[in-house]
Every structure is written in C-alpha cells, then in structure tokens.
Amino acid sequence: MKPETIAIHLSNRVNDTDKPVVQPISLSTTYEHGDDSPIYSRISNPNRTSLEAVMTALEGGADAAAFATGNAAGMAVFQSLPAHSRILAPSDMYHGLRSQLLKVFKGKLEVAFVDMTDIQSVASNIHKDTSLIWMETPSNPLIRVTDVAAICQIAKDKGIRTVVDSTFATPILQNPLLLGADMVMHSNTKFIGGHSDVMGGVLITAKIDDFWENIRNVQVLGGASPSAFDCYLLCRSVKTLSYRVKAHCENAMAVANYLERHPLVDRVYYPGLPNDEGNLLACKQMKGFGGMLSFIYKGDSKATDRAIAKLKLFSNATSLGGVESLIERRAKVEGDAGNSHPSLVRVSVGIEHAGDLIEDLEQALG
C-alpha cells in the first residue's frame, strides 16, 4: 500500500459489533481480562494501538511508541541511554529539546552540539564513548538539511545509535529508517495533527531490541502516554496528511520565491530554493521540501515585530504544521537556549490560497 492508503486504513481498526466505519474512542481505563484485550490504558489502548500501527507503516519501521508530546518522545530516548553516555546533537535544533538536554540531563549525559551538515565535523566529534547521534532534518529554525544516510553510515561503522527528529519532513516527505537510521521521532503536534488542536509525539524503531524495550518501559512505566482522545484526533488527522503536505509544500515554495525577491528580505532559508545550501541533498533525500521556511528581515528586532504585527492571515504564534499559517520572530520565543539572529522570522506556511498569503505579506512587509 502507498502512504495515502496506509494513512486511511491502518489508522482505523474497528473491533465493535455495531460495525462503525470510524474507530470509536475507547475511553475505558481498564478492560475485562481476555486473551487479546488490552489490560489497562497506560499500558495499551485501542486508539493508541491504531496510531502506533499507522506510524510504523508510514515510516517502514518495526514498531512505534506514542507519547503525550514530542518532547516526551525525545526524553524517552535520552532516558533510555546508560548514565553519562555521550551524545552528538545538532547545533541547529528545536530549542525545547536542546534545553531538555542542557537542563534536565545536566550531569547525566554528555552532549556535544555539532554542525550536522558538516560530515567531517560530525566524524571528528565522535569519541570512543559516543553512544547516540541525534539528527533533526530539516532543522528548526534554519531549515538545514542533514545527510542522514552519510551520518548513519559513519555511526554504524562505530556501533553508534542514530535517531532522526523528522518533524519538519513528516513520513510523507522523508523516511529516515530507509536511509539507515535506527529510530525516527515526530512531534505529532505539528503536521501529523495538522490542525493546531492536539499534542503528541512518537518514536518509530527499525528493529525491536533491548534499547526499544527500554523505550517501551519509559512509555508504559513512565506514563507520559497520549490520551485515547488525543490518539483518536491524530488518527483522524493522519488520514489527510499526504494531501495537506502537498499543499504545504506548494505554498511554501511560492512564499519562498516571493520572499527571495523582496528588497526588505536579506536571506531566505528554504531547501526548495535552488541556491539554498540544502537544495541538492533535499532533492536526493526528500520527496518535497516541506511547509517550513525562515527569513532574515532587513531591520532590527523592533522593525521585524512591527512588520509581523501588520499581517492579517498569518497568526503571530509559536508552533507549526497546522492548516493555518503561523509566523514568529524566533529570538523572541527561544529564551536563553536559543541562538537565533534577532531578525530571523520563522514561517509555518499553511494551506490557504498562496495568492492570499503573498498579498498579505506584501501589505505587511511593504
């Protein structure tokens, strides 16, 4: 089956004598004991099982574990490592997970932040005790593209585990397990949920091994699992993921082309632009360039905030991947863990009409 079909049919497992077409929400916290029935909702729940099944199939993995948020999914990976493991993480990565590594795992894990787009730098930062390479591609907020196959090859040769945060790509545009990664992570809050109304995270593994058992223990015993209702919403949303992602990609390309020619825009970061440093790699590794782009406005932080405030269709809000366009000046939200240029603006291009979005940018940017 192709992703469009997988998304509709594997997210919907009906086991009900009334034969509803759509899988109902199973709110029960506990189940009558039986051979195949779930035991207790923290351990497993029919809606969560469907979400894990569809994500496993979309990524071509062996199993998936769903969490309450993307950060909880990331945390499960870091918690599953032996104490004082050394990990490599990207210098450009989601600041919330960067903060998690620096604050929650301070003294528990050794973290080195490296430019993941520079293979030499990755190779030279590997030590004998490096146990994990965490990638994020395209990255947040500079939309940089990492060569997953090349880094996984280096890691495999040295017995190092690889995990890719593929939130910006979605399983529709990129499948890191097929490029050699051991695990993929998504914040389901973003494109998979797609409507800015549900939070979630998921890990998908290439193989079931001891490390995966650790992850399942963190999920089931740690208990940061998504509710049945969250899983129901995510299964409903994933059904339209392919079509939404196509529209996000088309609109982001149109907006990137417009911004690139704008006299008040210094630089646009979007791998779909032929002169973007990630373009060649994205053409090789991805099936589309995604709905996320960033740009540097020619003006200080106050002028940038003023331009953003004039927009009518783009909400000035954090998060991404919803049907509605969002925009924000990154430095304003990143706090002390961020290192963004003061006039860097990140845009989550929604699926409104591209012409309307460009018209709105035109009146706001001047």
Ligand X SMILES: Cc1ncc(COP(=O)(O)O)c(C=O)c1O
Comparing CA positions, the residue from 105, 89, 98, 212 lying closest to residue 151 is 89
What is the footprint of ligand X within residues 319-348 (CB under 6 A)? none
The partner residues of 133 in beta bridges, in order of sequence, read 88, 162
- Residue 190 annotated among the catalytic residues of the structure: yes
CA gap 59, 174 in Å, rounded: 8
CB of 186 to ligand X, least distance (A): 8
User: Binding to ligand X (CB under 6 A): which residues in 224-263?
Assistant: none
> Out of 92, 147, 165, 360, which one is annotated catalytic?
165
- Tally Cβ neighbours within 10 Å of residue 237: 22
Shortest spacing between CB 140 and ligand X, in angstroms: 4
Element (H, E) at 74: helix 70-79
**231 near 66, Cβ under 8 Å?**
yes
Tell me, yes or no, if 42 is annotated catalytic.
yes
Nearest-CB residue for ligand X: 70
Catalytic, out of 98, 144, 161, 190: 190
Out of 48, 86, 92, 94, pick the active-site residue: 94
Q: Which x/- pattern, by CB under 6 A, does the window 57-86 give for ligand X?
A: ------------xxx---------------
Q: Nearer to ligand X by C-beta: 266 or 324? A: 324
Name the minimum Å distance from CB 344 to ligand X.
15
Q: Is-catalytic flag, 40?
A: no
Tokens of 140: 């947040």
> By three-state DSSP, how is residue 242 classified?
helix
DSSP, residue by residue, 83-101: TT-EEEEESSS-HHHHHII
User: For ligand X, what does the binding mask look like between residues 151 and 170, x meaning CB under 6 A?
Assistant: --------------x-xx--
Site string for ligand X, 107-146 (x = CB under 6 A): -----------------------------x---x------
Encoding tokens for residue 9?
Answer: 């049919």
Ramachandran area for residue 40 (φ above 0: left; ψ -120 to 50: alpha; else beta): beta
d(Cα 197, Cα 136) in Å, to the nearest integer? 24
Choose between 257 and 318: whose C-beta lies nearer to ligand X. 318
Q: Using an 8 Å Cβ cutoff, are 233 and 22 in contact?
A: no
Catalytic positions, written as ranges: 42, 94, 165, 190
Residues forming contacts to ligand X in the complex (CB under 6 A) are 69-71, 94, 96-97, 136, 140, 165, 167-168, 187, 189, 199, 201
